[in-house]
Amino acid sequence: MTSVERTGHCLCGAVRFAARGEPKWVAHCHCESCRRATSAAFATYAGYPADAVTWTAATPRSYASSPGVTRTFCANCGTPMSFTGERWPGEIHLFAASFDAPESLSPQVHVHAEEQLPWVHLGDDLPRIAKNTA
Ligand SMILES: [Zn+2]
Ligand SMILES: [Zn+2]
């Protein structure tokens, strides 16, 4: 029996995680909230069962970014680390870019595509969902 484990960390290295098994999904989110939370044009998430992810060094600080939504970040360097929301019970969404091997994750879909910035041009053929699935 093989079990995949991926690891990742924040910019300064204080917060580290291990994620066991394959993610349930990997998606680009173009919503304004994710843009602001990351100060980036869009955010790419890997969704895992919450019990498959362990913080292996410092635990990130958390805050409620909107009703029912908790985002975490490294208290030292500020790197966004995770998203959890009442709409996705039992899941934690990690940022694909904070994995040690982000190239090992394959995004499958764009969500909130209707909010995509007009100057973001992506050449993939992935499905584009105007708002959100799940
Ligand atoms: Zn950090
Ligand atoms: Zn979003």
Q: pLDDT digit string (tens) for 88-132?
A: 999 999 999 999 999 999 999 999 999 999 999 999 999 999 987
- Cα-to-chain-centroid distance, residue 82: 6
**Å from CA of 132 to ligand 2 middle:** 9
**Å from CA of 116 to ligand 2 middle:** 10
**Å from CA of 12 to ligand 1 middle:** 4
Six-digit token pair at 133? Answer: 């699935």
Q: Per the confidence metrics, is the pTM higher than 0.75? A: yes
Query: Which whole-number Å values give the CA distances from 86 to 83, 125, 130, in the listed order?
Result: 10, 30, 21
CB neighbours of residue 49 within 10 Å: 14
**Å from CA of 18 to ligand 2 middle:** 23
Radius of gyration of the chain (CA): 14
Rounded CA-CA distance 86/76 in Å is 27
Q: pLDDT digit string (tens) for 28-61?
A: 999 999 999 999 999 999 999 999 999 999 999 9
pLDDT at 3: 85
**Å from CA of 31 to ligand 2 middle:** 4
Q: Is the pLDDT of residue 1 over 80?
A: no
Tell the residue number behind the tokens 């992506």, with chain if given. Answer: 122
pLDDT at 88: 95
Q: Is the pLDDT of residue 134 over 70?
A: no
pLDDT at 2: 64
Spell out which residues have Cβ within 5 A of ligand 1, the ion: 10, 12, 14, 74, 76-77
Nearest-ligand number for the alpha carbon of 75? 1
pLDDT at 133: 56
